[in-house]
């Protein structure tokens, strides 16, 4: 594929933009970002310093120099996508397909290579398809409340769903009943007798995870090997008592849970729970978590105006790029964009500036 080219002057502009704008977007101090990043990673439930720091070192230190010596518009595009993917990992670990740093790592390989890889260009095109910073199809790359999403991730890792719930008494009732349930003890002893080695393993024995929307994968339960036979029996035991696992003979009862995922917000209600939405869930806090992505108001009127504005914004950015190519500056630039959009030129270019805002 033939790469499009940009001028040396434009390349220098992209270098300065990447070097300064990304550190500002991350909320980091220019030239002293490493200590802030390390402290932040220590508070992030999903991010590993060994995976993430090399990405930021390339983004802030190496990539701007490479852009200064590259006239490839495709290279700049992949570089922009790389920055956004690093920013995804920086914001949260649960909003983007797993994991944003893996995608960024793939683009890192492409950016270091002499030739851009086809799949890297494809990823960049998907991330930047709208041509508007922060938007990616129906998703948002810049979240409205990433701090609250990270807090929910900490609760998730600690197994604490209580902030979203008002049904603690119902859970406690079944937890007490389960701890004294003689039938579970009999069933556990029977499982240990048939599978002594498997049931004596340290740590938590997990049941098989139920896939999204309950589709059965790999043909369901299997009995060809000893490991498969144990897992099939153990899954049945967990279903019988609404468990997510067992540790050292202690049953672990399923909790109601609220989890933000890349594709939506999941609310799980265990089978044993007599459910009353208003009494059992903190709907205000769940709504806050779901809206933390940055959802816009919806409805027919909002949708029409938003679609029209998105169309104008894309056209304005294309016209702005053409204005830069023609060397237009100041009011001549805004007058050219106004003309390209087919709008009346009254000399007030504030609407155009708003359309061009990131």
pLDDT digits (tens, 9 = 90+) for 161-206: 889 988 888 888 999 999 999 999 999 999 999 999 999 999 999 9
Pairing of the two strands 250-253 and 243-247:
antiparallel
pLDDT tens figures, 266-292:
999 999 988 888 888 999 999 999 999
Residues in the chain, pLDDT under 70: 1-20, 30-31, 130-133, 217, 296-307, 358
Q: What is the number of other CB atoms lying within 10 angstroms of the CB of residue 227? A: 11
In a domain? residue 271: no
User: What integer pLDDT is reported at residue 206 of this predicted model?
Assistant: 95
In a domain? residue 135: yes
In a domain? residue 235: yes
In a domain? residue 311: yes
User: What integer pLDDT is reported at residue 160 of this predicted model?
Assistant: 85
Domain holding 339, by residue range, is 300-356
Which residues, listed in sequence order, are joined to residue 251 by a DSSP beta bridge? 246
In a domain? residue 284: no
Instruction: Please count the structural domains in the chain.
Output: 3
In a domain? residue 340: yes
In a domain? residue 272: no
Domain match, 185 and 74 both: no
Domain match, 81 and 34 both: yes
With a threshold of 0.85, does the pTM exceed it? Answer: no
Domain end (from 107, 142, 177): 142
Domain match, 131 and 187 both: no
Cβ–Cβ under 8 Å, residues 78 and 116: yes
Domain match, 15 and 125 both: yes
Tokens 């397909």 belong to which residue?
97
SS3 250: strand
Domain match, 244 and 172 both: yes
User: What integer pLDDT is reported at residue 297 of this predicted model?
Assistant: 57
Domain match, 130 and 21 both: yes
End-to-end CA distance of the chain: 29
In a domain? residue 77: yes
Domain match, 235 and 343 both: no
Domain match, 64 and 131 both: yes
Domain end (from 254, 269, 287): 254
CA torsion 74→77→82→84, rounded to 10°?
-170
């Amino acid at each position: 594929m033939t790469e499009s080219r940009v001028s040396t002057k434009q390349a220098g502009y992209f270098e300065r933009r990447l070097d300064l704008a990304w550190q500002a977007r991350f909320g980091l101090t220019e030239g002293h970002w490493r200590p802030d990043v390390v402290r932040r990673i220590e508070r992030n439930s999903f991010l590993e310093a060994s995976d993430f720091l090399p990405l930021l070192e390339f983004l802030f230190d190496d990539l701007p120099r490479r852009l200064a010596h590259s006239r490839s518009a495709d290279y700049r595009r992949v570089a922009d996508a790389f920055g956004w993917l690093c920013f995804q990992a920086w914001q949260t670990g649960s909003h983007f397909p797993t994991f944003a740093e893996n995608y960024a790592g793939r683009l890192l390989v492409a950016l270091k290579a002499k030739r851009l890889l086809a799949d890297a260009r494809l990823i960049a095109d998907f991330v930047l398809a709208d041509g508007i910073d922060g938007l990616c199809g129906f998703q948002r790359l810049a979240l409205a409340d990433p701090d609250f999403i990270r807090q929910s991730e900490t609760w998730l890792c600690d197994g604490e769903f209580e902030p979203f719930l008002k049904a603690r008494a119902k859970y406690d009732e079944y937890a007490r009943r389960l701890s004294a349930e003689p039938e579970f003890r009999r069933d556990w002893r029977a499982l240990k007798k048939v599978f002594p080695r498997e049931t004596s393993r340290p740590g938590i024995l997990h049941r098989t995870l139920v896939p999204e929307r309950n589709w059965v994968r790999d043909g369901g339960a299997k009995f060809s090997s000893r490991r498969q036979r144990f897992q099939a029996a153990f899954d049945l035991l967990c279903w019988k008592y609404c468990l997510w696992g067992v540790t050292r003979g202690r049953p672990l009862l399923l909790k109601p849970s609220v989890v933000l995922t890349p594709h939506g917000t999941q609310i799980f209600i265990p089978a044993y729970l007599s459910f009353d939405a208003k009494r059992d869930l903190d709907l205000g806090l769940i709504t806050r978590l779901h809206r933390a992505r940055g959802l816009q108001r919806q409805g027919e009127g909002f949708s029409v105006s938003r679609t029209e504005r998105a169309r104008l914004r894309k056209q304005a950015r294309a016209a702005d790029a053409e204005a830069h190519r023609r060397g237009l500056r100041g009011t001549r630039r805004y007058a050219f964009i106004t003309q390209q959009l087919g709008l009346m030129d009254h000399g007030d270019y504030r609407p155009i500036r708003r359309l061009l805002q990131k």
